[in-house]
Copies of this chain bind each other. A is one copy, B any other.
Amino acid sequence: MDVQRRTTRQRQLILDTVKSLGNHPTADAVVNAVRSHDAHVGRGTVYRNLKLLSEEGLIRVIKAPGGNRFDARCDEHAHAICTSCGAVADIELPYREDLDRAAGAQCAYRIDSHYTLFEGVCPACRAKEGACPVPRTQPDEAPR
């Protein structure tokens, strides 16, 4: 009952793009990069394929506030996200299945998995913040 999946030029291009970008791009960043190779690829096509590719296990989704990120690295690890600019870094952190079991024992849900997201400030944004010990409300440039 499975759907016949076809190898389209676009699908391959999107996968290659996530792999070559490397840096946990947003869907929008993938759209832009893909369009630099083929200007006529539709936004919907990119979203559809990013979802498909992640379902097939060829890429991974990072569910981040402000928009999902996509990771060509499929082995287990966690991520840190910059709360100022949204940049994502890999964090080596082994998956703990025991946490899933412990959580499942607590709450009547069937627990399938979990993810951990670290929040902080990346080196570039720290530099912009200046040397003040307490984080300022807003640097001279609005990072959005």
State the A residues within 8 Å of B (CB): 63, 65, 68, 78, 80, 82-83, 89-93, 99-100, 102-104, 106-123, 126
Cβ–Cβ contact A112 & B83, under 8 A: yes
With A63-B65, A115-B116, A116-B116 given, is the CB distance from A123 to B108 under 8 Å?
A: yes
- CB atoms of B121 and A109 under 8 A apart: yes
CA distance A50 to B118 in the complex (A): 22
Contact A118 B91 (CB under 8 A): no
A103 x B118 contact (CB < 8 A): yes
Please, how many angstroms separate the alpha-carbon atoms of A91 and B99 in the complex? 10
Measured between beta carbons, the chain B residues less than 8 angstroms from A110 are 120-121, 126
Contact partner of A111 (CB less than 8 A), chosen from B65, B80, B103, B108, is B80
Q: Which of A83, A91, A93, A126 has the most CB of B within 10 A?
A: A91
A-B contacts, 28 listed (Cβ < 8 Å) = A63-B117, A80-B107, A80-B111, A89-B108, A89-B109, A90-B107, A91-B103, A91-B106, A93-B103, A99-B116, A99-B118, A100-B118, A103-B118, A103-B120, A104-B120, A108-B122, A108-B123, A109-B120, A109-B122, A109-B123, A110-B121, A110-B126, A112-B120, A113-B118, A114-B116, A114-B118, A115-B116, A117-B117
